[in-house]
């Protein structure tokens, strides 16, 4: 069920309004039974949510403004329906892999077919540059070249569609320095997908009523990996390698992202030897990205001079018919550096393992001692 108090007020609640205006005041709270959605025992035997729009369910008005793409929900349902096929009883061990799933259905089912159509005429050396993308299965695994090429192409498409409207560099700025795209991503995608089916919208968003999304993707791919663009990148790479003032050599066109978890007190200190002192931990790979069940994103607001990382930091799975809960933290239960619990869950969390918590104090103490 949806939870929390729902104020009765005007407007959507998404934008600021003059709070001093009596017309904007709350008119009490809605009755949860009348206004909030609840459902029980669906015919499928499965209940799943992933911040998606809940329009499939009947009942009271569904209150959701900033909903996410249905991709994560669809992947969860796909896997859960597969697990329960022919009456299989799902257990805790079945559920654990779901929390680490890295397949993006929107990437593999919505965008990849259009990408393959866009690149259908590429051949030879030019085709080799995007071969990993064309063979990609939609999985954002650590070290996946296909995933990195997809990310590059995805952002180039967004830049080509929206920069002429918002201004040069705006899309990359809101991606790297704000949380705006993360909470409105589905709206940006809905517009380009609708424009792919409507010539009037194509005129508005693509600048040409005859352009399809595949055509825009072809232009974006040419801008990234066409012969002229590739020659410029090769030249820039050679110049950078020959210039010692540029610092470390480039990691290449495609690179993996990894993160060092820094102590909250000392993270702002430049050149602080946190790893050597055991205060920091890592580096660890950042897995997932676009509508994957296990997802993450990074941004660096220029005013704060520090990296923001959005991703899971706690996992839990349990069977309500049994005692206990299996959990993992992206660190440990204590903030004290010399406590045995400072990083007690670190390896467990990043290797996909869990510890068992018990409601019985003596049994729980034994679990912590073993951890």
Residues 161 and 235 in one domain: yes
Domain boundary at 51, 67, 100, which?
100
Least confident interval from 28-32, 198-202, 246-250: 246-250
Residue 260 lies in a domain: no
**Tokens standing for 174?**
């809101």
Residues 125 and 205 in one domain: yes
179 or 242: which leads in pLDDT: 179
Residues 95 and 136 in one domain: no
pLDDT value of residue 146: 92
Phi-psi domain of 155 (left: phi exceeds 0; alpha: psi -120 through 50; beta: other): alpha
Domain count, the chain: 3
Cα atoms in the 13 Å half-sphere on the side-chain side of 87? 0
Residues 136 and 57 in one domain: no
Residues 231 and 144 in one domain: yes
Residues 92 and 114 in one domain: no
Residue 292 lies in a domain: no
Residues 338 and 230 in one domain: no
Domain boundary at 73, 100, 127, which?
100
98 or 250: which leads in pLDDT: 98
pLDDT value of residue 255: 40
Angstrom CA distances, 182 to 40, 51, 163, 301, stand at 31, 12, 17, 14
Residue 284 lies in a domain: no
pLDDT greater than 50 at residue 245: no
| pLDDT confidence bin for 61, thresholds 50/70/90 | low
Residues 45 and 78 in one domain: yes
Residues 112 and 206 in one domain: yes
Residues 121 and 232 in one domain: yes
Residues 110 and 187 in one domain: yes
* Closest CA relative to residue 19, chosen from 35, 5, 7, 6: 7
State the residue range of the domain holding 332. Answer: 313-371
Q: pLDDT digit string (tens) for 290-319? A: 789 998 877 777 666 677 778 889 999 999
Residue 69 lies in a domain: yes
pLDDT greater than 70 at residue 139: yes
Residue 155 lies in a domain: yes
Mean pLDDT of 106-134: 93
Residue 117 lies in a domain: yes
pTM of the model: 0.82
Measured between alpha carbons, how far is 282 from 268 in angstroms, rounded to an integer? Answer: 17
Residues 120 and 218 in one domain: yes
pLDDT value of residue 249: 31
| pLDDT confidence bin for 153, thresholds 50/70/90 | very high
| pLDDT confidence bin for 95, thresholds 50/70/90 | very high
Residue 328: strand pairing partners: 315
Residue 204 lies in a domain: yes
At what angle are helices 213-225 and 145-166 packed, to 10 degrees? 110
The mean pLDDT value of the chain amounts to 83
Residue 132 lies in a domain: yes
Domain boundary at 217, 239, 261, which?
239
């Amino acid at each position: 069920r949806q939870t929390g108090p729902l104020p009765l007020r005007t407007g959507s609640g998404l934008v600021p309004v003059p709070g001093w205006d009596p017309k904007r005041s709350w008119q009490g709270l809605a009755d949860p039974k009348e206004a909030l959605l609840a459902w029980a025992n669906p015919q499928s035997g499965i209940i799943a949510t992933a911040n998606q729009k809940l329009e499939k369910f009947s009942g009271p008005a569904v209150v959701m403004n900033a909903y996410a793409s249905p991709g994560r929900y669809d992947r969860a349902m796909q896997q859960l329906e597969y697990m329960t096929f022919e009456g299989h009883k799902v257990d805790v061990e079945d559920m654990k892999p779901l929390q680490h799933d890295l397949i993006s259905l929107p990437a593999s089912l919505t965008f990849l077919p259009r990408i393959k159509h866009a690149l259908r005429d590429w051949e030879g050396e030019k085709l080799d540059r995007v071969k990993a993308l064309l063979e990609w299965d939609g999985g954002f695994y650590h070290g996946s070249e296909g995933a990195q090429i997809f990310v590059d192409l995805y952002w180039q498409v967004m830049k080509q569609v929206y920069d002429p409207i918002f201004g040069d560099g705006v899309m990359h700025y809101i991606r790297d320095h704000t949380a705006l795209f993360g909470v409105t991503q589905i709206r940006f995608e809905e517009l380009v997908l609708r424009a792919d089916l409507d010539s009037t919208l194509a005129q508005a968003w693509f600048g040409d009523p005859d352009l399809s999304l595949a055509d825009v993707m072809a232009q974006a791919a040419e801008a990234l990996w066409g012969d002229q663009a590739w020659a410029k990148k090769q030249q820039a790479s050679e110049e950078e390698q020959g210039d010692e003032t540029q610092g470390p050599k480039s990691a290449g066109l495609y690179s993996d992202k990894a993160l060092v978890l820094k102590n909250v007190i000392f993270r702002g200190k430049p050149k602080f030897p946190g790893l050597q002192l055991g205060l920091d931990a890592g580096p660890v790979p950042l897995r997932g990205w676009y509508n994957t069940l296990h997802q993450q994103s990074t941004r660096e607001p220029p005013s704060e001079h520090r990296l923001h990382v959005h991703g899971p930091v706690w996992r839990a799975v349990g069977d309500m018919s049994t005692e206990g809960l299996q959990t993992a933290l992206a660190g440990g239960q204590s903030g004290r550096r010399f406590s045995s619990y400072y990083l007690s869950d670190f390896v467990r969390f990043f290797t996909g393992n869990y510890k068992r918590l018990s409601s019985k104090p003596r049994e729980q103490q034994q679990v912590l001692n073993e951890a």
